[in-house]
Amino acid sequence: MDSKIERLVPLEAVETEIRVVNSRFIASLSPAGSVEEARAFLMETKKRFPDATHHVPAFIIGHGQSIISHCTDDGEPQGTAGRPALAVLQGSGLGNVVVVVTRYFGGTKLGTGGLVKAYGEAVKAVLELVKPAALVPTTTLMFSLPYPLYELGVRLVDSCRGLILQDEFGVDVTLTVQFEDTQLESFNQQLSNLTSGQVDAIFIEENPNTAFPASV
């Protein structure tokens, strides 16, 4: 199996809300590369919703055989909140992810089964909004192009599945771009062809674990 598929993470934070018998369930999800980041996201969520009845966290750090997972019920009946939230999260295939389900009690008790379903459905709802990314080795480059070649340069970056991190418009256009390492040789060759060998990309940095938009 492709290592990219095995190491999926959320690209960015997302949030959504469902209502169940007048109770509000706000599911907030974020990338988290460590237990500390996951706990920090929980604290941030509590600060954003200080008057909520419950803040139920679940997180998965790592991938495959090397993971740390955690959940709590935060005052809900044991096993009715954190576990169903974590089970749905585990089924997503994501790692390095934290979700917090914030509940505002609506005045009507949902019962054990109702709580299990509500917390699970809240996590399912927020997962539908997640843009998947893969942890892959990347390299960041910088190069300058004359204005007549700018649009062709942008198309070239896109064709090599690169990301434009910054563009600066001066005498020429200077682009800072990021590629998966598997695309570097192809990009450099095509850049040379485009500019008749007049432009070489300058190496900026390497990152062995970049959350890069996935093609799945």
Q: What is the reported pLDDT for 1?
A: 33
Q: What is the reported pLDDT for 165?
A: 94
Please check whether residue 92 is in contact with residue 126, taking contact to mean a CB–CB distance below 8 angstroms: no
Structural domains for the chain: 3-130 (3.30.230.30), 134-213 (3.30.70.240)
Instruction: Report d(CA 56, CA 19) in Å as an integer.
Output: 16
pLDDT in tens, the chain (216 residues): 344 446 899 999 999 999 999 899 999 999 999 999 999 999 999 999 999 999 999 999 998 888 999 999 999 999 999 999 999 999 999 999 999 999 999 888 999 999 999 999 999 999 999 999 988 899 999 999 999 999 999 999 999 999 999 999 999 999 999 999 999 999 999 999 999 999 999 999 999 888 888 764
Instruction: Report d(CA 157, CA 166) in Å as an integer.
Output: 12
Q: Which amino acid is at 17?
A: E
Q: What is the reported pLDDT for 159?
A: 94
Tokens found for residue 4: 């990219």
Please check whether residue 96 is in contact with residue 31, taking contact to mean a CB–CB distance below 8 angstroms: yes
Instruction: Report d(CA 81, CA 44) in Å as an integer.
Output: 20
